[in-house]
Amino acid sequence: MDGVVLVLNQNYEPLNVCNLPRAFRLVFGDKAEVVEYDHQEVRTPSSAYRAPSVIRLQHLIRRPRPRVRLSRREVFARDGHVCQYCGRQGNDMTLDHVIPRHRGGTHTWENLVTACKTCNHRKGGRLPDEARIRLLRTPVEPRSDVYSLFGTYLRDDRNEAWRTYLFLGRS
């Protein structure tokens, strides 16, 4: 029994991924219903079951929105390794606090950007206005979207049925 199963919340929101044995336990324990079946069959000595591909929980699980953890690497990824002041892309970027920390700037998604060494040096401990440089765009917290959470599983054809529930459309 290999393969993975997409678990939807009661409101059809994608929650997580589990393995087949766990999915069967949830379904046979009336904790979840099968929404989509896989192509494979799972055989026991006495019977055969179609394997689920997508299941939906019977009860709504409340949980906070998944968030992308703030880190240097994630800020670079959000900005595509592009300096947010001059637009140059590179692998030797630095992290810049738009409002410097000693001026009350916070260590948050909204105040952190990718900057090349030249721009970071030019800006120094000043505000962008004072250094006469401008941000290309306003920094925001990135969405922890379904693609980053479930995207890797979609490379497996067996999980094709998931697309409908991840709102990604057919490939």
Q: Does 116 bind Zn ion (CB under 5 A)?
A: yes
Contact 34, 81 (CB under 8 A): no
Q: Does 83 bind Zn ion (CB under 5 A)?
A: yes
Residue selected from 7, 8, 82, 119 as contacting Zn ion according to rule CB under 5 A: 119
Q: Does 85 bind Zn ion (CB under 5 A)?
A: yes
Token pair belonging to 5: 């199963």
Stretch that binds Zn ion, among 59-67, 74-82, 98-106, 117-125 (CB under 5 A): 117-125
Give the strand pairing for 112-115 and 94-97: antiparallel
Contacts of residue 155, defined as CB under 8 A and 6 or more positions apart, other chains included, come to: none
For the CB of residue 105, give the shortest distance to Zn ion in the complex, in Å: 18
Using alpha carbons only, how large is the chain's radius of gyration in Å?
23
Stretch that binds Zn ion, among 19-27, 81-89, 144-152, 163-171 (CB under 5 A): 81-89
Number of residues that bind Zn ion (CB under 5 A): 5
Cα atoms in the 13 Å half-sphere on the side-chain side of 170: 1
Q: Does 86 bind Zn ion (CB under 5 A)?
A: yes
For the CB of residue 121, give the shortest distance to Zn ion in the complex, in Å: 9
Query: What amino acid is encoded at 14 in this protein?
Result: P
Closest CA to 85 of 54, 37, 109, 121: 121
Give the strand pairing for 48-57 and 4-8: parallel
Stretch that binds Zn ion, among 8-16, 83-91, 148-156, 163-171 (CB under 5 A): 83-91
Q: Based on CB atoms, which residue is closest to Zn ion, 83 or 112?
A: 83
Chain residues binding Zn ion by CB under 5 A are: 83, 85-86, 116, 119
